[in-house]
Amino acid sequence: MIARRISSQLDAGLAHVFTQGAVAFVVKVLAALLSFLMFMAISRVLPETAFGQFGFAFSLVTMLSLIGSLGQRSMILRFAGAYQADASTERLNAVIQFGYKLVLAGCALTAALLLLPAFLMPGLPDYLYASAAFTLVLGFAEYQAHALRSFGSMARALVPRDLVWRAGVIGVAWLSIADVIPMRSASDALWACALVLLIVATAQMVLTPSLRAAISARNIQPLPERKTWLHAAAGLWGTSIVLAAGPNLSVVLLGLQLSPDEVGPLFAALRTSMLLSLFLMAANMIAAPLIARDLALGNLPKVQRLCTFIAIAVGIPTLAVYLGLCLFGSNVLELFGPEFGEARAALIVLSSGYLVSALAGPNSQVMEMAGAERKYLRILAITTLISLLSLPLLVAMFGATGAAMGIAGGMIASNIWTTRYCVRQLHIRPGLLPGRVVHQTPKERGVDL
């Protein structure tokens, strides 16, 4: 009913955006469930030490594939849609091919850098080789999913990577439980993730005629837009890296400081707490074009109403999940294994950070759509850096719970800061966090932080 009511108020173009956002929400709900089940199944197959190694490597691969993608995931979303709207087929084919080449080259480089210590120092864990292969495959698959989003079909873009891949890995894990195929080490699990994803992403490419045509296009002349693409990708790259750095680098740093047996429970707690980010992530997909349109029209009251609606709609289910984890967190974590219940405190701390993010509403979308993306990047960079620098001391004092404090503290600080900026400079309160908007001519919008 709510979806129908909102959709009826939009013009045809925005109604399509909302419909695709609703599709993305459904896919992300299912993806969150499958992600939880995937890591739970792997934890059931691997010994506790091996699962800790897998969690360390998976977080490392996530960061390396993002770094190696060189900002092309966001860049393709920005330009491909515009070229489609202009019916500029040559530019569309060129930007898609350009992105593939940079992503494959960049991820190959980060994978090579990961393997370099293994060649120079024999005796390092063998899962580094699987991690290098997984880095290349994940970078390729993620870029391809973003490229397909620009063609307007969320289901075609998201379902293979978010649903089919995870379901495939779960299937492999259960075959291992049944002793049909071996999966006894972190390396085995990483190879399984990489190979299943490679099969899924290749099938996605082959079965999508529009993407296949863009990739196979020949005789594309060098275009002057390439400098523009690179310039745009640089800023988007920085923001995406900083966003992912907090949780993923925290696990990597923890893996360097603690034993794999201690890393595994924190990784399980982190992946479980990420369920709380689901609602805001899906809402942001819908909110971004609506906020952009109304900000361009100078309709701040409408932006404010939309932000308040989103914060309430996101906050209620997020709070419900949060309370459920507070009450039954140990039981949920024990699904990974009996010993994982010890990370309940870390789970509650991490979930508190995601709860504050949900209550803060679409603050990142407001800042980026208002042209304050560099200020947003600065806020993220400062809070994430402080969070990461605090980890060694917090871990030494409180173990895995201390790492959770550092991660959650960074999230809470960045959301308070962005809310303060939105209220004072943009005259919009993006969520339910405290802040009094003074309605006046926004002459100070461009003032530095």
Q: In whole angstroms, what is the distance from residue 449 CA to residue 442 CA?
A: 15
More confident residue, 222 or 207: 207
pLDDT digits (tens, 9 = 90+) for 86-145: 667 788 888 889 899 999 999 999 999 988 876 776 667 788 899 999 999 999 999 999
- Whether 421 and 449 have beta carbons less than 8 Å apart is answered as yes
For residues 338-362, average pLDDT: 92
Q: In whole angstroms, what is the distance from residue 375 CA to residue 59 CA?
A: 27
For residues 304-322, average pLDDT: 91
pLDDT digits (tens, 9 = 90+) for 39-87: 999 998 999 889 989 988 998 999 999 999 988 887 887 777 667 666 6
| pLDDT at position 294 over 60 | yes
The candidate with the shortest Cα–Cα distance to 21, out of 279, 274, 349, 345, is 279
User: pLDDT value at position 28?
Assistant: 79
User: pLDDT value at position 249?
Assistant: 74
| DSSP H helices in 46-153 | 48-68, 72-85, 89-120, 127-149
User: pLDDT value at position 3?
Assistant: 46
pLDDT digits (tens, 9 = 90+) for 170-189: 999 999 988 888 888 999 99
Q: What token pair was written down for 439?
A: 């309605």
Residue 299: how many CB atoms within 10 A of its CB?
Answer: 13
The reported pTM is 0.76
The candidate with the shortest Cα–Cα distance to 403, out of 261, 257, 240, 277, is 257
- Whether 55 and 128 have beta carbons less than 8 Å apart is answered as no
Q: What token pair was written down for 294?
A: 């109304």
Residue whose entry in the numeric block shows the structure tokens 């196979």: 216
| pLDDT at position 440 over 60 | no
Close Cβ partners of 87 (under 8 Å, ≥ 6 residues apart): none
The candidate with the shortest Cα–Cα distance to 2, out of 288, 431, 432, 316, is 316
